[in-house]
Amino acid sequence: MIINGNLLLNAAPISNMNTLKQNYKGTSFGLSEAGYDIRIKQNVMLDPKNRFQLASAVEYFHMPDNLLGVVHDKSTWARRGLSVFNTVIEPGWQGYLTLELIYHGSEPFQIYGGQGIAQVLFHEISDSASYNGKYQNQEDRPIEARS
């Protein structure tokens, strides 16, 4: 079952959640109808010559042991050729989310820090679990793959 609205706010998987959908430079962020729209921290220039970039989310995650998050593209960016990898945020994980961006478009454009970049849908899981892997307590910056 997808958790949204007041149930999501009460579960508090993100610190200082915006209880209302807000807009910055043409993209929304905050509590959405089915989940939560997260923001990108860095200014990112996308162009056809550099199709893959790492960035990070503004929001700090502290996932409860009974919730799993799935990152999805925002349609505003998808319509311009940007894909945000559909990362799974494990129960019990905490830290700043690294975003993997792939650009499929043909014209350069910029995304500004603070703009909504992706939507996270939160799913309740049947058995509690707690992540304790190599990306636990991830720093407030994009993190490269760890061996």
Span 119-139, average pLDDT: 96
- How many domains are contained in the chain? 1
Question: Would residue 139 show up in a list of annotated catalytic residues for this protein?
Answer: no
What is d(CA 9, CA 75) in angstroms, rounded to the nearest whole number? 23
Q: What is the domain extent for residue 34?
A: 2-124
**Residue 102 in this model has a pLDDT that exceeds 90:** yes
Any domain includes 71: yes
Any domain includes 132: no
CA–CA distances in Å: residue 102 to residues 1, 43, 75, 82, 86: 29, 15, 14, 6, 11
pLDDT one-digit tens code per residue, 42-87: 999 999 998 999 999 999 999 999 999 999 999 999 999 999 998 9
pLDDT confidence band for 120 (50 / 70 / 90): very high
Any domain includes 137: no
Any domain includes 115: yes
Set 59, 100, 107, 139: catalytic member: 100
Q: pTM of the prediction?
A: 0.95
CB 46 within 8 A of CB 101: yes
Any domain includes 102: yes
Any domain includes 141: no
Q: What's the pLDDT score for residue 55?
A: 98
Looking at residue 21, which CATH number applies to its domain? 2.70.40.10
